[in-house]
Amino acid sequence: MVETTPPGRRPVIVWDLVLTIVLLVLLAGGGLLLGFFAFLLLAFGGDSCGASSTCDYDVMTTGAFTAVGGVILVGFLALVGSIVLLVLRRIAFWVPLVGLVLMIAAFWIGASISSSGVRPISG
């Protein structure tokens, strides 16, 4: 039996569906890992404050929440974008790849902001 699609509907691209699902699972794992590191940044970012450095806790907190929120937001948007493209039967495997790069960038930006709040005491 030959499987046909209704007129006007695109056929399902099986390799893209499978690859997108695998990449979304990897994106979730990467997001969990980056989120864990972002919480560590939030928890341990101010350990050197006091004797060896001065800290701006507002800047450090902003950076940590930028890292955590950026990772979560980008991961969510990549998931929704992938699902929308898969439903529309468009090529979607690139969305989780771009999402992972943007998640790493969001973490890096947040970590940079957070670390700028720690200034060593010059002696």
Each residue's pLDDT tens digit in the chain (123 positions)? Answer: 666 656 678 888 899 999 999 999 999 999 999 988 888 877 787 777 777 788 888 998 899 889 999 999 999 999 999 999 999 999 999 999 999 999 999 999 999 998 888 888 775
C-beta atoms surrounding 22 within 10 Å: 12
pLDDT value at residue 37: 87
pLDDT at 21: 95
**With contact defined as beta carbons under 8 Å apart, do 27 and 72 qualify?**
no
CA dihedral 113, 97, 91, 69 (to 10 degrees): -30
Alpha-carbon gap, residue 39 to 49, rounded angstroms:
18
For the chain, domain boundaries = 14-46+54-117
Q: Residues 6 or more apart from 77 whose CB is under 8 A from it?
A: 99
